[in-house]
A and B are shown apart, each in its own frame.
Chain A
């Protein structure tokens, strides 16, 4: 990827379990965002965390950011089959905001 790697590349869990995905990036960032993408479809924005924030919550989602390690994690709690999708982190690196580089993505499969 242009910016960094995500791990795991693929994750398979049972419904109700938590899913954790990690993202590492290479350069300084303005903010980091997480997106989901269902197979062959467009992107859905999940959550944004700014470079001066360390943790953010939105419903069943929890995102952390460690700028010293250039890494972020996305936790989905109490997963559902409908959470099955690919998840990407995107870092906003532009001088003018909104120029995004995407991580390599994690393909999550939640088994019912």
Chain B
């Protein structure tokens, strides 16, 4: 199947700093990618739809100025958590699809101290 990668796989940062997470489709092009957040022992929550060449679409309750999404190419979307706080600590997962099947990245664990 298609492969989606994320980088980094884990990151620890200080409160107030910004963190960038990359999501890449390795063997296909994706005009749309999706970003999810998962808190411990909870389900995945869709945060936003990343659209190549246009603005991201955010789900209700997700702060667009807090979670900046850039989809600059057909194989790369980035999520930047700005001015991170401990409550932003979570597992962030992206997904992309070459067809009707969704492929998920391995996730990035963010810990904000």
Contact = CB atoms under 8 A, between A and B. Distances in A.
A42 B107 contact: yes
Point out which of A1, A96, A97, A98 has the most chain B C-beta atoms below 10 A from its C-beta: A98
A31 B59 CA distance: 20
B43 A103 contact: yes
Contacts of B34: 98-100
A99 B34 CA distance: 7
Contacts, number: 60
Nearest to B1: A45
Contacts of B17: none
A99 B58 CA distance: 12
B43 A105 contact: yes
B91 A40 contact: yes
B44 A102 contact: yes
Interface of B: 1, 32, 34, 36, 42-46, 49, 59, 91, 93, 95, 97, 100-107, 109
